[in-house]
Amino acid sequence: MIDIDLLYHLESYLTNSRKTKFQDVLSQRTKHFTVAIEDVYQLHNTSAVMRSCDVFGIQEVNIIEEVNTKRIDREIAMGAQKWVDINRYNSVNDCIKDLKQKGYQIVATTPHANDCDLHDFDVTKKSCFFFGRETEGLSDAVLNNADRFIKIPMVGFTESLNISVSAAIILQFATKKLKQSHINWQLSESELLEKRLDWCKKTIKSYQKIVDRYYNR
């Protein structure tokens, strides 16, 4: 439960422009879609996907570290790691199980499955877009548990795109189509309050001292 009075007190330490920016960004945030990155080897790819999630309003990113452990390339992520929520998993099966319990359908992004082109994708269902390793692609665990397969239409000789490019294309299209629908895609009131408090914590340098003084006054 969020202490609303504390939140208001903390926000008094923010500039009006910062508070307005938080409100504007949060109004465009969603958990209707999320992204899962499966053991991507190149660090800059993970960071770039995270940056795209922030740009297109995806609040949660799921990183599977069954083989490769991820660090965040701060230069490429451009601070995105501060504003999106990162869920880490030691196995792909744990990630899939957790996402399905949260009501997400598993969407495998692959150019080799004949399910549907990106432009025909149904945005009304809560979905997690899975992106695989640079060379091997998605694992059999993801492919065997996928509820849907989507591919980006391509007309050249190249069969696939870099995963960070694929993620940006898919997220831009899916979020634009979602916001043109009648789906209730925005964060709930409680989620908005939680993020406002979280972003205050990440923004205010003397956050803990201010909180201590607030409760000891």
122 lies in a domain? Answer: yes
Reference 53, options 78, 71, 18, 17; nearest CA is 78
Domain that holds residue 79: 34-184
125 lies in a domain? Answer: yes
Domain count, the chain: 1
For residue 75, the model assigns a pLDDT of: 45
Positions of the chain with pLDDT lower than 50, given as ranges: 73, 75-78
For residue 80, the model assigns a pLDDT of: 64
49 lies in a domain? Answer: yes
For residue 79, the model assigns a pLDDT of: 61
For residue 162, the model assigns a pLDDT of: 77
For 6, residues 6+ apart whose C-beta sits below 8 A from its C-beta are 197, 211, 214
Reference 106, options 64, 76, 154; nearest CA is 64
For 174, residues 6+ apart whose C-beta sits below 8 A from its C-beta are 33, 118, 121, 123, 127, 129
| Pairing relationship of beta strands 85-89 and 105-109 according to DSSP bridges | unpaired
pTM over 0.85: yes
CATH number of the domain where residue 91 is located:
3.40.1280.10
For residue 161, the model assigns a pLDDT of: 75
101 lies in a domain? Answer: yes
Number of Cβ within a 10 Å radius of residue 107: 25
